[in-house]
Amino acid sequence: MKQNTIFRTARGYQLLLQEKKTLTPSMEDYMEMIYRNCLREGFTRVNILAESLNVQAPSVSRMIQKLTELELLDFEKYGLIRLTESGRELGEFLYNRHQIIEEFLTLLGVTESLLTETEMIEHNVSLATLNRIAQLNRFFQAHPEIHTQFQNFGDGSSCPSV
């Protein structure tokens, strides 16, 4: 199997990925949070979403309008925000993607900045890689003795300092 030998900057790879996707990372974050909020009550509101994402209500309103136009949400001005069926499926995928990456980092022993690291990775991982990470998570869960060996293998200081 021949590997791709064309190197790009991190931004170059992000642009390539963005060409293949219809949602921006910000849109994905909104959809994931809407899904999380809807798990509890079946709906959410602009003010709840603004608080959950630490953004201003006008920003939420603009994003809700965009996501409604993409038929991912049902929203009436000043009303409840509900997921459409396709919005629910997408939200569930984004939520699960977040959980898989977070679990992977936790298994690696990442504790400091876990949420930040998860957020940075989740928007840039391919589906094939995500599936392999999920497989590795399941492997470590099924074989805790191997996970313990990994944890005891080193202290993580084998990388050159940056």
For the chain, domains (ranges, CATH) are 21-89 (1.10.10.10), 95-150 (1.10.60.10)
Model confidence over 121-139: pLDDT tens digits? 999 899 999 999 999 999 9
Could you give phi then psi for residue 105, rounded to 5 degrees?
-65, -40
Q: How far apart are CA 3 and CA 14, in angstroms?
A: 19
Q: How far apart are CA 100 and CA 104, in angstroms?
A: 6
Q: What is the DSSP letter of 44?
A: B
Model confidence over 135-150: pLDDT tens digits? 999 999 999 999 999 9
Model confidence over 58-87: pLDDT tens digits? 999 999 999 999 999 999 777 899 999 999
Average pLDDT, the chain: 87
Position 22 confidence tier, pLDDT thresholds 50, 70, 90: confident
Q: How far apart are CA 56 and CA 24, in angstroms?
A: 18
